[in-house]
Amino acid sequence: MSCDIIGGRTEQCKDAVSGLHAIYMINYGDLDVPSVVTYGTGDNTDQITAITGASTSLYKFELKGNNSFEQAINSSRENGTTFFEQTLAVQLKRQDVKSTKNVKLISYGRPRIIIHARGDQWFLMGLDQGCDVSAGTISSGSALGDFNGYSLTFTGMEELPANFINCSTEAELKTLMGGSVVITTT
């Protein structure tokens, strides 16, 4: 049966770190997922090993501070269904005209998001359905030291958890995507 357990897990070392380095957004229509994504084999079938034919732009957002990525497992024995709700919460510091326009456009769309977590783990969120901005604020703060910028929450509902991407650096990500990817930060 395809839902049989495949292995156990030993107690892990305490050398992991949490948090996010950056996210990379891809416009939904720029990635034709079924025809371009290649997966690993054996125990790595949930890992993306190549994204071919994707001459696209990645829009990089550097992160520091209060940012998180979580995946909730939603399973119903009564309905016989399971899906994964992926939630990304980011804070983008400092407001400006271009960023406000960009946040507006991101809110209208449903991007796919590559997440670079600390510990050099990479994930692709919203692989099939894309992600929606499900909450957010544009804040000027009230006191001198308060947060000034954009707090955004992205939600994706997928049949599978976010796939690991087989890379550990931005250069490897570009190679995995065929090398023709342009990464834009401005």
Closest CA to 74 of 63, 60, 66, 85: 85
Is the predicted pLDDT of residue 151 greater than 80, yes or no?
Answer: yes
Q: What is the pLDDT of residues 152-168, one digit of tens each?
A: 999 999 999 999 999 99
Q: What is the pLDDT of residues 55-96, one digit of tens each?
A: 678 999 999 988 999 999 999 999 999 999 999 999 999 999
**Confidence at residue 17, expressed as pLDDT on a 0 to 100 scale:** 78
Residues 6+ apart with CB under 8 A from 97: none
Is the predicted pLDDT of residue 54 greater than 70, yes or no?
Answer: no
Question: Which pTM value belongs to this model?
Answer: 0.89
